[in-house]
Amino acid sequence: MEDRQDVTPEQKGGEAETTIAAPFAGLLEESLSSKSFQRGGIVEGVIVSKAPGEILIDIGAKADAVVSSRELETMSERDLAQLETGGHVYGYILRPEDENGHVVLSLRRAELERDWQEAEKLYAAGEIIKRQVVGFNKGGLIVRLGRIRGFVPSSQITGVSPQSSQQAEGATTPEPSPLAPFVGKTLSLKVVEVDRKRNRLILSEREAAKEERRLRKEKLLEELKEGADYPGKVSSLCDFGVFVDLGGADGLIHLSELSWKRVTDPAEVVRVGDEINVRVLKVDRERGRIALSLKRLQPEPWSLVDENYYVGQLVQGTITKLTDFGAFARLNDNIEGLIHISELSEQRLKHPRDVVKEGDTLTLRVIRIDSARRRLSLSLRRAREDYDDLDWQGDYSEGPRS
């Protein structure tokens, strides 16, 4: 005889409650896990059905969402053909629920909303974008950011002044607008204003150019090496030197670093637009400054003095400075020598000005060379004598160098 366990009424009631509660628990869980949809929200879904006048989209709701019938009526055949079953789309919620329990979506509004969100992100991040110019008007250029019509004012276009574009529009005789050549070109742009309410999106090429140059400068400052040579282009001249564009940043060649000879005007050496090689002397990354030299790419004149000159040699020199004890003369390669007052004339002089003046170009004779101390002694009076008959020849026994 089998053993039977007695089951109490209370136990039977508990089992029944568990059986009945299970479906309700599932419904409750489904209800809690269902998504909440609000007007203006953006949802992602998959097209599950496509028929004339109706497109159903699975967005994770209890019922499939539908595309607005008004929007379907205005869609072109091309746009409709791109909506294929199984394709992923984004929708803008027009109505959280219609009379049939469906969420009503607008695909176009979703694309437009996403474009505005993208514009706001670009503005906040200060990013540079590339866009093609699709048109222009009297005020500037027109570009597209998705479905948004962006505007680049003339004042924000490099190389174009607002006055020139306005004059072209207001001319009595038809003249081509300075903005016309931009159509079809791709520009680097930066979003500078986003106003959804006014449907206003303003972009700037000038700001993008500034940002690109700043980034190039930062990169260049990191890459430049002191003592190395780089190609550059003369961008401007000033009283104290020359600015050279190194391809992202301007460096300065001080007046004293332009040439081994004395320079008073940078235009004596270079012109704006000249392409030259320069040597980097110093890079100040904190202050963003670059010191350059042009003269140091050439041999320092004093290093060649022993090769280019010898005692007794006749040379051409220009008087550069007068002092009580003599006159300084600069030779053709910027070597400067001293003509002692006793070497200016056979007669005794009170001051060099009695014989020469600044700017005079004279024939002089080399009488002493001290390259180690960078000293060169010259004589005016001995240049006028016959070298072979000089009784002081033995004092300067060095002959011409081969």
Are both 139 and 61 inside the same structural domain? no
The torsion angles phi and psi of 6, rounded to 5 degrees, stand at: -75, 135
Are both 311 and 266 inside the same structural domain? no
- Provide mean pLDDT across the span 27-48: 67
- Give the pLDDT of residue 163: 60
Are both 367 and 286 inside the same structural domain? no
How far is the C-alpha of 344 from the C-alpha of 296, rounded, in Å? 34
Residue 207 CB contacts under 8 Å (≥ 6 apart), including other chains:
156, 190, 192
Residue 261: give the domain boundaries: 224-297
Instruction: Answer whether residue 29 shows pLDDT above 70.
Output: no
Are both 292 and 316 inside the same structural domain? no
The helix (run of H) or strand (run of E) holding residue 112 is helix 107-125
Convert the pLDDT of each residue in 310-351 to its tens digit: 999 999 999 999 999 999 999 987 789 999 999 999 889 999
Are both 345 and 327 inside the same structural domain? yes
Tell me which of 243, 269, 297 is where a domain ends: 297
For residue 181, tell me if it sits in a domain: yes
- Give the pLDDT of residue 112: 86
The mean pLDDT of the chain is 83
For residue 179, tell me if it sits in a domain: yes
For residue 19, tell me if it sits in a domain: no
154 secondary structure, DSSP code:
G
Residue with tokens 């306005």: 166
Convert the pLDDT of each residue in 346-392 to its tens digit: 889 999 999 999 999 999 999 999 988 989 999 999 997 754 444 44
For residue 250, tell me if it sits in a domain: yes
For residue 120, tell me if it sits in a domain: no
Residue (of 75, 67, 80, 142) closest to 110 by Cα position: 67
- Provide mean pLDDT across the span 137-142: 92
If DSSP codes are grouped into helix, strand and coil, which group holds residue 352? helix
For residue 219, tell me if it sits in a domain: no
Tell me which of 237, 271, 297 is where a domain ends: 297
Q: Are 274 and 242 in contact (CB under 8 A)?
A: no
Residue 330 sits in a domain whose CATH number is: 2.40.50.140
Two tokens, residue 328: 């300084």
Tell me which of 110, 140, 157 is where a domain ends: 110
How far is the C-alpha of 72 from the C-alpha of 92, rounded, in Å? 14
- Amino acid type, 371: S
Are both 290 and 307 inside the same structural domain? no
Count of structural domains within the chain: 4
How far is the C-alpha of 193 from the C-alpha of 204, rounded, in Å? 9
Are both 292 and 306 inside the same structural domain? no
Q: Are 364 and 379 in contact (CB under 8 A)?
A: yes
Least confident of 19-23, 88-92, 336-340: 19-23
- Provide mean pLDDT across the span 114-142: 93
Are both 387 and 307 inside the same structural domain? yes
Least confident of 105-114, 188-197, 375-384: 105-114
For residue 239, tell me if it sits in a domain: yes
Are both 386 and 308 inside the same structural domain? yes
Inter-CA distances, 201 with 119, 134, 206, Å: 8, 15, 16
Which one has a higher pLDDT value, 394 or 123?
A: 123
For residue 37, tell me if it sits in a domain: no
Are both 136 and 92 inside the same structural domain? no
Residue (of 35, 38, 50, 31) closest to 92 by Cα position: 38
- Give the pLDDT of residue 98: 84
Q: What is the pTM of this model?
A: 0.55
Residue 34 CB contacts under 8 Å (≥ 6 apart), including other chains:
61, 62
